[in-house]
Structure 1
Amino acid sequence: MGPLTGIRVVELAGSAPAAFAGTLLADFGADVVRIDRAAAGAGDGPADVPAQGGADAADRSRPVGNPLARGRRSVALDLKHDEGVAAALSLIDRADVLVEGFRPGTAERLGLGPQTALERNPALVYARVTGWGQTGAWAARAAHDLAVLAVTGALDTDPATGDPLPPPTAYLSSFAGGGMAHVQAILAALYERSRSGLGQVVDTALADAAALVTTLVHQWRAAPGVHTVTDAPHYTLYRCADGRHVAVAAIEPRLYANLLLQLGLLGDPALPDRGDPSAWPALRALLAGRFGERESAHWAKVFADVDACVVVVSTADEAPAHPQLADRGTFVDVGGHLQPGPASRFGRRPPTVPRPAPYTGEHTAEVLREWRRDRPVD
C-alpha cells in the first residue's frame, strides 16, 4: 500500500543514488522491480531467458539488512544475451518508470536506451541519474560525492577562518541532493504524464542537485553584511569530558541566550561578541572550555528541557532509541534490521513497512509471468 500503489518501476541495478530513488519509490508503495546481473550459469527461470539467478546463487548474494535494496523484487538477467535484453524490454514495456544510474551511453550499448524504450512505451518516464548528467564536458567522468561537492561550491572556504569547510559525509550530493531530486523529478514527470499521456527522459545530475542544495549559501551571499553560520561558535560541535560531542545550533538570539544561561555566561561583560566574526575564535575557545568540563550525560540533562537547540550527538546505534525518533517511528524493523523508514506521513493511505532486500534473482520467474500477463502493450 501507499500513495504510489499501482505505479510500476523498473530499476536497472547500478549506482547508489539510483538505488536510493528506487527505495523511496518502493517505500511509497510503487512496485519496484530491480534487474540484477545474473550469475553465469545459474538458471531457475523461464527457459527462454538465460542465466537467471538460482537459489544457491541467491543465498550468497542476499544484501542482508541493506536499505538500498529493500522494498523491491529482483529479476536476474544476462543482458549480454539477446534473450536477456528482450526480457528486460518486456518489463520496460509495462513499466511507468525506468530508473537508470549508468554512465552515459551504457544503457544504449545494452539496447535499453531511452530512444528504444520510449519507442516501445511512449508513456514511460525514463529517469537517468549520474554524477555530471548526460551532457557536458565531464559527462563521462567518474563523480564521487566529494568531487561533486568541490565543483558546486559546497566546500567553499569558511569566511571566518579562511580554511576549507570540512567535507560532509557522503549524503549531500548522492542522497540529499541526487536521490531526492531524482524522485522529485520522477513524480513531476508522472504528474505531467497524467495530463499529456506521454513519458519523457529525466536527466538528474548529482552536481546540479548538490548546487541546488547550496541555495542557502547563495542567499547568504546575496544579503550584504550577513555572515554564514558555517562553523560559527554558536553553530558547531564541542567535545565533552568523556570524548563525546554536543551539537550547538543556537542561531536565533533567544536560543543563544538560553545557551549562555545554561552555561553560566549570560550577562558576562567579558563574553566575546558573536556578531563580530573576528571574535569567533575567542568565543569558540570559551565555549569549548565550558563544554569540555563535564561529560555528555551532564549536558544532556542540562539542556533536556531547554529550547537552546543543543543536543548530544547520537551514534547510529543510539539514534533509533532517541525519544523523538521513537515517538515518530522513524526507524522500522525490516526483516529483523532497524532501518530508517519512509520519511513522510500520509493521513489517508500510509505506506506499509518495507519488505526486506531480495535475493538476487529471487523473483525472476514470478515477475516475468506476472508482468507479461498483466497490462498488455497495444
Structure 2
Amino acid sequence: MKAATKSAGALSGLTIIEMAGIGPGPFACMMLADHGAEVIRIDRPGARVDPTDVLARSRKRVELDLKSEDGRAAARELIRKADGVVEGYRPGVMERLGLGPEVLLADNPKLVYGRMTGWGQEGPLAKAAGHDINYIAITGALNAFGRAGEKPTPPINMVGDFGGGGMMMAFAMLAGVLSARSTGQGQVIDCAMTDGASLLMGMIWGFRAQGIWGDERGTNYLDTGAPYYDTYETADGLYVAIGSIEPPFYARMLEATGLSDDPLFKDQDGIEDRETRRARLTQIFAAKTRAEWCLLMEGTDACFAPVLSFAEAPSYPHNAQRQAFVELDGVMQPAPAPRFSLTPAPLPRAPGA
C-alpha cells in the first residue's frame, strides 16, 4: 500500500462516534477511519476484539453500558465533542436509551446524527427485521441479477449493505459535516439501504426509460445477455471475463479469438443468433487454459481479465504493484481507497491495535 508514513489522512481532525454494530455502519466508519478520521467505537462491556474483523480496523474503543446512567452520561460526553455519530439500531432504540437525536443535538447543535437501517426510519416496514436480500428485493435491483430463465441471484450483500448502505452513509456523514461547518447546524441522516440500493440502479432506470433495458434478467447487455459481456470457462476449469462492449474493443476480442472473419459475429448485437455466438465463444475459450488466454488478451483493448479467487487476487501483478491489499496481523484485506495525492491514507491498524 502506497501511503506516506507521516500522512494523517484527508479526514484528519474529524471525530466520529460509532455505536458498535455489524455490516454497513462499521463499513462506513472504516472508510472514514481509513482516511484519518478519529473513530471511537462504543462497545458493550466485555465485547471481544476480533482481529479478523476487517471492518473494525483503525478504531479507538471504549466499553460502556448504555443501559446504565453512568454509561449514557459517558456516551453523551464523547458525542458532545464529536462531529458525528453513527448508529445502526432499529428505529426507536436510541431514543429508549436516552440517546436520540433531540437529546444529542441539544448537547451538540453541530452534530451530524447518522442513522443506518435497512428500511429507513419510517414506512410500513421500518421496524421489521431484514437483511440485504430483502432490502434489494423491493427496489427492483434483485430482480435484475441472474441468468436468463433462472431465479434472481443475490450478489452476496454488496448492493444493499455496502454499496447502498455503508458507502452512502460515509458520503452522507461528510456532506453533513460540511453543511454543519458552514451553517452551524447539525442534522439527522436517515440512511436506508432500500434508498441507497435504488440509487445505485440509477443508470439502469435511465436505460429502461430509453427503451434499451428490459425487466427480463439475463437478456440485457450488462447482465450476461450479450455474449461479449460474460464469463467463460477455460481448459483448466478456471474462468475469464470479457466486457467487449464498444465496437473497437469487440473487434479486438474477435481478433484474439480468431473470429474476425466469422460472419456469425458480424452483427455484434444480433438477438436471433446470440446463443449460437455464446456457444461458439464457450467452445473457443474452453480450448486454452486461463494462463494461455492471459498471454493472448491481458492488457489489450479486448476488455479481458482472469477471474481470480480471493487467494489469488493480492498477488496478481496489477494489484501487487498498486499495493491494493495489505496484511495486518496475518489478516489479508483490501487497502484503503480511493487514493489521495496530497493526503494519502495512513497504514490501517488492526482491530484493537
Do both proteins adopt the same fold according to a TM-score greater than 0.5, normalized to the shorter chain? yes
Alignment partner, residue 178 of structure 1: 165
CA-to-aligned-CA distance 1:248-285 (integer Å, 9 cap, x gap): 11111111111111111111123374312332222211
Tell me, yes or no, if the aligned pair for 1:97 and 1:127 is still in contact at 8 Å.
yes
2:37 maps to amino acid: A
CA-to-aligned-CA distance 1:272-303 (integer Å, 9 cap, x gap): 74312332222211111111122211111111
Q: Match of 1:107, SS?
A: helix
The reply to whether residue 346 of structure 1 matches residue 337 of structure 2 is no
Tell me how far apart the structure 1 counterparts of residues 299 and 105 of structure 2 sit (CA, whole Å). Answer: 57
Alignment partner, residue 50 of structure 1: none
CA gap 1:159/1:12 in 2 versus in 1, 3 angstroms: closer
Alignment partner, residue 138 of structure 2: 151
Alignment partner, residue 23 of structure 1: 30
Q: Match of 1:148, SS?
A: helix
CA-to-aligned-CA distance 1:115-165 (integer Å, 9 cap, x gap): 111111111100111001101111112221111221111123589945444
Q: Match of 2:56, SS?
A: coil
Alignment partner, residue 60 of structure 2: 73
Alignment partner, residue 223 of structure 2: 230
Q: Of the candidates 14, 17, 21, which is equivalent to residue 14 of structure 1?
A: 21
**Farther-moved stretch of structure 1 (227-236 vs 314-323):** 227-236
Tell me how far apart the structure 1 counterparts of residues 156 and 145 of structure 2 sit (CA, whole Å). Answer: 18
**Farther-moved stretch of structure 1 (240-249 vs 330-339):** 330-339
Tell me how far apart the structure 2 counterparts of residues 152 and 194 of structure 1 sit (CA, whole Å). Answer: 34
Tell me, yes or no, if the aligned pair for 2:15 and 2:83 is still in contact at 8 Å.
yes
2:111 maps to amino acid: L
Q: Of the candidates 119, 135, 146, which is equivalent to residue 122 of structure 2?
A: 135
Tell me how far apart the structure 1 counterparts of residues 308 and 342 of structure 2 sit (CA, whole Å). Answer: 33
Alignment partner, residue 118 of structure 1: 105
Q: Match of 1:212, SS?
A: helix
The reply to whether residue 38 of structure 1 matches residue 31 of structure 2 is no
Alignment partner, residue 218 of structure 1: 205
1:254 maps to amino acid: P
Number of equivalences = 339
The TM-score with structure 2 as length reference comes to 0.91
2:293 maps to amino acid: W
CA-to-aligned-CA distance 1:292-321 (integer Å, 9 cap, x gap): 122211111111242211111111121111
1:7 maps to amino acid: L
CA gap 1:276/1:158 in 2 versus in 1, 3 angstroms: farther
Q: Match of 2:138, SS?
A: helix
1:293 maps to amino acid: A
| Mapping of residues 1-378 of structure 1, within 5 Å | 1-39=8-46, 61-157=48-144, 161=148, 163-225=150-212, 227-231=220-224, 232-271=226-265, 273-358=267-352
1:118 maps to amino acid: L
Tell me how far apart the structure 2 counterparts of residues 247 and 333 of structure 1 sit (CA, whole Å). Answer: 27
- Structure 1 residue 18, shift from structure 2 partner: 0.2
Tell me, yes or no, if the aligned pair for 1:92 and 1:98 is still in contact at 8 Å.
yes
CA-to-aligned-CA distance 1:215-241 (integer Å, 9 cap, x gap): 121121122356542112111111112
Tell me how far apart the structure 2 counterparts of residues 156 and 273 of structure 1 sit (CA, whole Å). Answer: 28
Tell me, yes or no, if the aligned pair for 1:272 and 1:279 is still in contact at 8 Å.
no
CA-to-aligned-CA distance 1:164-196 (integer Å, 9 cap, x gap): 443212111111221111111111111111111
CA-to-aligned-CA distance 1:53-96 (integer Å, 9 cap, x gap): 6xxxxxxx221132110010111111121111111111111111
**Farther-moved stretch of structure 1 (221-230 vs 201-210):** 221-230
CA gap 1:24/1:160 in 2 versus in 1, 3 angstroms: closer
Alignment partner, residue 362 of structure 1: none
Q: Percent identity?
A: 42
Tell me how far apart the structure 2 counterparts of residues 199 and 354 of structure 1 sit (CA, whole Å). Answer: 29
Which segments of 5 or more consecutive residues in structure 1 lack a partner in the other structure?
Answer: 40-52, 54-60, 360-378
Alignment partner, residue 3 of structure 2: none
Which segments of 5 or more consecutive residues in structure 2 lack a partner in the other structure?
Answer: 1-7, 214-219
Tell me, yes or no, if the aligned pair for 2:146 and 2:153 is still in contact at 8 Å.
no
Tell me how far apart the structure 2 counterparts of residues 354 and 182 of structure 1 sit (CA, whole Å). Answer: 20
RMSD between aligned residues: 1.9
